[in-house]
Amino acid sequence: MSPPSSSDEFTSPKRSASARVAEFIERVCLIGIQLSIPMTIVVMSGFFLYLIGGFVLLQLGFWSPSYPFLSITEDVYFAWLGFLTGGTICLGTGCLIGLALLTDGEGEIHNDVSILASFIGFGFGAGVMRMTYEVVLASVLSL
């Protein structure tokens, strides 16, 4: 009688297609959150630097732009910075919503307050993008 020929390696059971899709979505959401944090810091820093710096320079008389400063329809820089800020907010909060809905009530990320705050943040970011997309699109098409 001969011993059965088998390897010592463990063969993992095959995962279902829905489990692989959920794992992929989870990975994408985690990468999105990790990217959105530094992006939000950089974009919002530029936004506030333009906002405060422009106001100070206008008050001191060192800068006189040919367009109305902080006009949503005419200040292209303000519109671009607002659009990018809204986009990074939507990226981060959308990924948090995706992770919260994937956990199905398990873990610290899934509670009603975090989901509500994420939806409020996503709505804010989408609203800012909606207000500024016309100017951004017009500036891209004029290139």
Residue 13 in domain: no
Structure tokens, 57: 């320079």
104 inside domain: yes
pTM: 0.81
pLDDT, tens digit (0-9, with 9 covering 90-100), for 73-126: 999 999 999 999 999 999 999 999 888 888 766 666 567 788 889 999 999 999
Q: Which structure tokens are listed for 24?
A: 């992929």
Is 6 domain-assigned? no
Into how many domains does the chain fold?
1
Q: Is the separation of the CB atoms in 136 and 83 below 8 Å?
A: yes
Name the residue range of residue 108's domain: 22-141
Whether 53 is covered by a domain: the verdict is yes
